[in-house]
Amino acid sequence: MPDFGTSGDSMSLRVAERISGIQPFYVMELLRRAKELEADGKDIIHMEIGEPDFATPQTILKAALAHTATGDVKYTPAAGLTELRQKIAAFYRRRYGVNIPEQRVFVTPGATGAFLLALGASLNPGEEVLMADPCYPCNSNFVQLYDGKTRTIPVDADSHYQLTTKLIERHWSAETKGVLIASPSNPTGTLIPRAELQKTIEATRRLGGCFYSDEIYHGLVYGEKAATALEFSDDVFVINSFSKYFGMTGWRIGWLIVPELFIEAAEKLSQNIFISTSSDAQHAALAAFDESTLAELEDRRREFEKRRDFLYDALVRLGFDIPIKPAGAFYIYARCAKFTDDSFQFALDLLENEGVAVTPGKDFGLHEAHHALRFAYTTSLDRLAEAVRRLERFLDAR
């Protein structure tokens, strides 16, 4: 090998500037340590994981297996199988009473792909997106990918840990392109009340902005039904996924609904950045809206609700501060100021001493993050009960 090929010459290579703006996920450090502990034979209770512990429903698996078995696993149209786009549109009619022409529906590799597509089609470099702090950590990184800017707005229990019309109007600037919300929220599990959602969309549209609504935890709600942004405007981007409610994380399939004006842009962009979404995943998802699948998912939702109730009560009893009982998703965002001013260290110690893994607040933002932990109830009631016992012992020992 010629000697220019040695690492010495990599000095002229430089990582793109956008990368330095992407924070690593702190939970990865915990995950690595958890794996080591498991390799040493220690029993770890995973409450840091943002995916359902349930298997993909049988009906969905059957549809996938039938397709895979044909061996005919080819590119599909970039926007997705027509039949699947129609089923998604029909789901909006049935569940929310809104009429979405299937041309506005784009099947994507997860909500992740939906974000790539929505922001790629709408955001210019230097433009700013408003989002809540705390929020899903990838949000600002999607914006960063397109060399946009993120303005995170601290939110507290008094606004359900969500943006409000007032906050949006106060933080709007000449550079603001739009607003990104998720309801129910990751990490807080809280919803934007229906009337407030309508007002924030109205305010954003009045200001000429794009509204990006991440509805990936719709379906996983335990009280009030979540409203889709599409009930209030056709000119919004709705991001959703088969990952969470439908139990299909590893399949990498979700969808995006775009305003009519963006159909052509989304079509062009998806042809280039995806070619298409996994053919197996799409054929699997064709069974996702079947009555029998939805019935099974309804059972799971009730199971998640039981877990939420159990865990919420237990954490409150142990002295965690949870001002709002979360109404959706599978997370409890608990304040732990009573126990520590460094929730990351707390999480590391809890893992090390008791084998319970949770996610530190600082993965979701800066605002009061050192006083916060996210507990995912993506494990069985038995395991949650064991985690609570360990947590109690851990707190007693401090």
Ligand X SMILES: Cc1ncc(COP(=O)(O)O)c(C=O)c1O
Partner that binds at residue 186, options ligand X, a copy of itself, none, CB closer than 5 to 8 Å by kind: ligand X
Between residue 25 and residue 64, which ones bind a copy of itself under the rule CB under 8 A? 25, 28, 51, 55-56, 58, 61, 64
The least CB distance from residue 239 to a copy of itself, in Å, is 14
Q: State the binding string over 184-223 for a copy of itself (x if CB under 8 A, else -).
A: --------------x---x--xx-x-x-------------
C-beta of 41: minimal distance to a copy of itself in Å? 20
| Residues 178/214, Cβ–Cβ less than 8 Å | no
According to CB under 8 A, which residues from 67 to 86 bind a copy of itself? 68-76
Structure tokens belonging to residue 57: 């429903």
Exactly one of 186, 204, 278, 378 binds ligand X (CB under 6 A); that residue is 186
Task: Write each residue from 247 to 286 as x if it is in contact with a copy of itself (CB under 8 A), else as -, in one continuous string.
Answer: -xxxxx------xxxx--x--xx-xxxxxxxxxxx-----
Does the protein bind a copy of itself through residue 299 (CB under 8 A)? no
Backbone φ and ψ for 173, nearest 5 degrees, come out as -135, 180
Backbone angles phi, psi at 199, to 5 degrees: -65, -40
Amino acid sitting at position 125: P
Q: Does 182 bind ligand X (CB under 6 A)?
A: yes
The least distance separating ligand X from the CB of residue 263, rounded to whole angstroms, comes to: 22
- 109 binding a copy of itself? (CB under 8 A): yes
Please, what is the minimum distance in Å from the beta carbon of residue 321 to a copy of itself?
30
1 interacts with a copy of itself by CB under 8 A: yes
Instruction: Please state the closest distance from residue 214 (CB atom) to a copy of itself, in A.
Output: 14
Q: Does 152 bind a copy of itself (CB under 8 A)?
A: no
Q: Under the criterion CB under 8 A, does residue 331 sit at the interface with a copy of itself?
A: no
Quick check: 174 binds a copy of itself (CB under 8 A)? no
What 3-state DSSP class applies to 218?
coil
Angle among Cα 393, 322, 220 to the nearest 5 degrees reads 105
Please tell me whether residue 101 binds a copy of itself under the rule CB under 8 A.
no
Query: H/E element holding 296?
Result: helix 291-318
Question: Which segment (89-97, 110-118, 160-168, 313-321) binds ligand X by CB under 6 A?
Answer: 110-118
Nearer to ligand X, 220 or 294 (CB): 220
Q: Which stretch binds ligand X (CB under 6 A): 39-47, 108-116, 294-302, 353-361?
A: 108-116
Least distance to ligand X, CB of residue 273, Å: 10
The identity of residue 393, as a single letter, is: R
Cross-strand pairs, 152: 131
Task: Give the one entry of ligand X, a copy of itself, none that residue 202 binds, where binding means its C-beta sits below a cut-off of 5 to 8 angstroms depending on kind.
Answer: a copy of itself
333 binds ligand X (CB under 6 A): no
DSSP code, position 252:
-
Tokens read off for 229: 């942004």
Q: Are 191 and 142 in contact (CB under 8 A)?
A: no
* Min CB(228)–a copy of itself separation in Å: 12
Strands (E), the chain: 45-46, 105-108, 128-133, 149-154, 176-182, 210-214, 237-241, 254-257, 331-335, 356-357, 359-360, 372-376
Minimal CB distance to ligand X: which residue?
110
Residues 243-302 that bind ligand X (CB under 6 A): 243, 249, 254, 275
Residues that bind ligand X (CB under 6 A): 50, 110-112, 136, 182, 186, 214, 216, 241, 243, 249, 254, 275
